[in-house]
Structure 1
Amino acid sequence: MAHGLGGTKDSGLEPFARAFAAAGLEVLLFDYRGFGGSGGEPRQVVSLDGQLEDYEAALQAAADLPGVDPSRLVLWGISLAGGHVLRAAADRDDIAAVVSVVPMVDGLAAALHATASHTPGELLRSTARGIRGRLVSRSGRAPVMMPVVARPGEVGALTLPGALEDYLSIAGPTWRNEIAAEVTLELGTRKPAAAAARVDAPLLVQIADFDQSAPPQAAAKAAFKGRAEVRHYPCDHFDLFPGKPWHDAARDHAVAFLVRHLASTKVTADA
């Protein structure tokens, strides 16, 4: 299990993990390189390929734990990581189930989706910051940073009304509200939805129907390609996190899905 864009494992994920552990599943919850409790330099820099490698490393680490059946691994990801898990599970025969929560699965669709809730000026400022960040990183200098979440009208990766307050409500002690700006350029080039058709394991996709951050239509298309079980929630992107109206339902649906497909898994937890 891992978080989305700029997230850390102590920021709203532990309640999901503890629910899975209580249901008899073994849980390995991790931070990406350069974030939270994980090592790596530079800090707060998102590499989509690097995060995918981190998922693959976590799968190997989980498979090596005592008592774990290495042929029955599960992937869980939320937001940006909801796309990572599709890519990580594709073309593997050791994955027993996948849970993709409010997933970001199509960068171009997300960019078009953003035009409905952001002014052209806001989008231009974020893109300009990303371009400057890319140029600076290629020169070998320290990354250009931007907030993960900010208020509407400010520069940030997520600037929708309420996004700052929503993220702060789940933020753990290791979370930092900054991220390397060049990720804004990388996001638009990725389409993990294409990997959904190559996921052979049972797949649960949990969609927030009024999601202003991750396009729900793109998530639904990916779910169809992956022959997924789909759960819809009449809410926005952050409303499936702990303390929000639809968290309990999303958590319980995921638990039921995993128990149904992993009924023989034994109990331990490392959250």
Structure 2
Amino acid sequence: MSKAKTFTRHDISFLSDGDECAGWLYLPDGIASPPVVILGHGLGATREMRLDAFAERFAAAGIAAVAFTYRHFGDSGGQPRQLLSIKRQLADWDAAIEHVKSRDDVDGTRLAVWGSSFGGGHAITVASRHPELLAAVSQCPFTDGLASAKALGPIGSMRLMPLVGRDLIAKARGKEPVRITLAGAPGSRALMTAPDALPGYLALMPEGQTFVNEVAARVAPTITAYRPGRSAKKVSSPILFCVCDTDSVTPPAETLAYARTAPKGEIKRYAAGHFDIYLGAPFEAVVADQIEFLTRHLKA
């Protein structure tokens, strides 16, 4: 096993449709023009919620890493706040790729994307649109909005509709969004009500920081209609699917079915839940597999 490299973290930012996306660049020390992987998070999450843990490991393996926060969230720009737009988040990925390609301290021709949860679905979509990527990682990915809606259940979905309607009216009138809870207790009115959802989100936040547990309600129907797994068959680069076998948020059966359609897909499975993969032994297992995969395809 090669010795872990030291690295330096830099604060960076780039523009996406005129708004600023804040990020971190992890540069391995002593390596000229290293390959690079771009990391994006899940539903309503920011880069502080354990993206740094993965980025640090990649940098220690000689792979530069850019972890960014979507517009409208965290310390990135964009108004109104807590607006979760699939179209805008995909545009943020495109902007991140263009930013990395423009840098002279990394090798933008040896480039990969890494997404987790909702970002794992984005990683599939982005990889299908960017054949120049050498690799992609899709971790516990959201692949099918209908499957996730079934996991929430019809009663849970119906609870959301009044807030969605109010928010759409607010949007039409140019008012502040009507927000909905992201992760709540079972039976509550929230986008995710699995027993491990709220504890899982809270466990990812660093001590002393607060998770903003709400988004504009208008996103709910767009999530149901979003099926990024269908793009897996269009991904021409190698793509690694990291699937949690007891995932209560993004059902693994649908993910596995989509993953098998990727021409150069690789699948790794873990005896873990959706939020377990970020911490402890499951994290150690998945990050080791991802380093091996990225090192192989980025020629780190």
In the superposition, the TM-score normalised over structure 2's length comes to 0.82
Q: Which one-letter code corresponds to 1:155 in the other structure?
A: R
Q: 1:147 aligns with which of 181, 184, 187?
A: 181
Q: What CA deviation, in whole Å up to 9, does each residue of 1:58-80 have, x standing for no partner? A: 01111111132222211000001
Structure 1, unaligned stretches of length 5 or more?
266-271
Cα deviation for residue 112 of structure 1 reads: 2.0
Does the 8 Å CA contact 1:34/1:44 hold for their aligned counterparts? Answer: yes
Query: What is residue 127 of structure 2 aligned with on the other side?
Result: 89
Q: CA separation in 2, counterparts of 1:57 and 1:91? A: 13
SS of the counterpart of 2:112? strand
Coordinate RMSD, CA, aligned: 1.5
Cα deviation for residue 91 of structure 1 reads: 4.0
Query: What is residue 155 of structure 2 aligned with on the other side?
Result: 121
Cα deviation for residue 82 of structure 1 reads: 0.7
SS of the counterpart of 1:99? strand
Q: 1:98 aligns with which of 119, 131, 136?
A: 136
Q: 1:193 aligns with which of 218, 221, 229?
A: 229
Q: Residues 32-181 of structure 1: matches in 2 within 5 Å?
A: 32-115=70-153, 120-172=154-206, 173=209, 175-181=211-217
Does the 8 Å CA contact 2:184/2:190 hold for their aligned counterparts? Answer: yes
Q: CA separation in 1, counterparts of 2:63 and 2:294? A: 8
Alignment: residue pair count:
259
Q: Which one-letter code corresponds to 1:208 in the other structure?
A: C
Q: What CA deviation, in whole Å up to 9, does each residue of 1:9-48 have, x standing for no partner? A: 0011111110011111111110000111211111111000
Report which of the two has the higher share of strand.
2
Does the 8 Å CA contact 2:135/2:297 hold for their aligned counterparts? Answer: yes
Does the 8 Å CA contact 1:91/1:200 hold for their aligned counterparts? Answer: no
Does the 8 Å CA contact 2:40/2:67 hold for their aligned counterparts? Answer: yes
Q: Which one-letter code corresponds to 2:145 in the other structure?
A: G
SS of the counterpart of 2:260? helix
Q: Which one-letter code corresponds to 2:162 in the other structure?
A: A
Q: CA separation in 2, counterparts of 1:56 and 1:24? A: 24
Structure 2, unaligned stretches of length 5 or more?
1-38
> Closer, same or farther in 2 for the Cα pair 1:125/1:53, shift >3 Å?
same
Which has the higher mean CA deviation after the structures are superposed, 49-58 or 187-196?
187-196
Query: What is residue 16 of structure 1 aligned with on the other side?
Result: 54
Q: Does 1:233 align with 2:280?
A: no
Does the 8 Å CA contact 2:149/2:157 hold for their aligned counterparts? Answer: no
Q: Residues 250-265 of structure 1: matches in 2 within 5 Å?
A: 250-263=286-299, 265=300
Cα deviation for residue 138 of structure 1 reads: 2.1
In the superposition, the TM-score normalised over structure 1's length comes to 0.91
Does the 8 Å CA contact 1:133/1:180 hold for their aligned counterparts? Answer: yes
Cα deviation for residue 215 of structure 1 reads: 1.5
Cα deviation for residue 200 of structure 1 reads: 1.0
Q: CA separation in 1, counterparts of 2:162 and 2:249? A: 20
Q: Which one-letter code corresponds to 2:81 in the other structure?
A: R
SS of the counterpart of 2:161? helix
Query: What is residue 268 of structure 1 aligned with on the other side?
Result: none
Query: What is residue 33 of structure 2 aligned with on the other side?
Result: none
Cα deviation for residue 121 of structure 1 reads: 3.4
Query: What is residue 18 of structure 2 aligned with on the other side?
Result: none
